[in-house]
Amino acid sequence: MKLSGHAVVIGEDVDTDMIIAGRYLRTKDRSVWAEHAFEDYDKTIAGKLKGSVIIAGKNVGCGSSREQAAAALKEAGVVAIVSPSFARIFFRNCVNLGLYVFETEVRNCKDGDFVTLDTGVPCAEVNGVFYGAKPLSKRMNDILNAGGLAEYLGEKQK
């Protein structure tokens, strides 16, 4: 599958508190998380997330298990996250919510650059350069292709 979007570039070790602060967790309203995404990292990012591909530095999503971090980005319209390395709980949460993840380092990318992604290969293309991503396990691919863990478990139980 081909995906694409404009780049939103963030730094290294961006933790889940920065993606969605603890003070916004107690709600059932996902739009609150989307509205406040990255607030403690950079207040200007939330408005740029619709249709974006996040190009992150290493160890993105470290810290808390709060699934609201992945949910906030999905709700805000993020297409995929690209990073040289993901914190494992965040990585798994993204997959469980059907948010595509690409484990690779992208260089020379700035905010607004057009990013094309191929889930099959998998790879990312930015400014004419291709970056091969680490393949996901079969299970993770199955969950992502189903749209998330809820859908995957639903299929399994048919």
Partner 1 sequence: MTAENSTLSERILGAPAGEYVDKKVDRAFAHDGTGIQALIALKGFKNQKIKDPGMISIIYDHIAPANNTTAANLQHELRDFSCSEGFSFYDVGCGICHQVMSEGLCLPGEIVVGADSHSCTMGALGAFATGVGATDMAGIWATGETWFKVPETIEINLSGELGGFSDPKDAALLYVKKLGMDGGTYKALEFTGEGAENMPVEGRLTLSNMAVETGAKAGLFYSDKKTQEYLSGFGKEAGRQAKQDCTYESSVEIDLSGIEPLLAVPDRVDNAVPVTKYSGTNLDEVFVGTCTNGRYEDLRRFAGIVKGKKVSVRTIVVPASRNVLLKALSGGLIEDIVKAGCTVCPPGCGPCLGAHMGVLGEGEVGLSTANRNFRNRMGVGAEYFLCSPSTAAASALKGEITSPEDIS
Interacting residue ranges for partner 1, rule: CB under 8 A: 13, 15, 17-18, 21-23, 25-28, 40, 58-59, 62-68, 70, 85-89, 92-93, 96-97, 137-139, 148-150, 153-154, 157
Q: Judged by CB, which is closer to partner 1: 6, or 41?
A: 41
Q: Judged by CB, which is closer to partner 1: 52, or 85?
A: 85
3-state secondary structure the chain: CEEEEEEEECCCCCEHHHHCCHHHCCCCCHHHHHHCCCCCCCCCCHHHCCCEEEECCCCECECCCCCHHHHHHHHCCCCEEEECCECHHHHHHHHHCCCEEEECCCCCCCCCCEEEEECCCCEEEECCEEEECCCCCHHHHHHHHHCCHHHHHHHHCC
CB of 116 to partner 1, least distance (A): 27
CB of 95 to partner 1, least distance (A): 9
CB of 112 to partner 1, least distance (A): 26
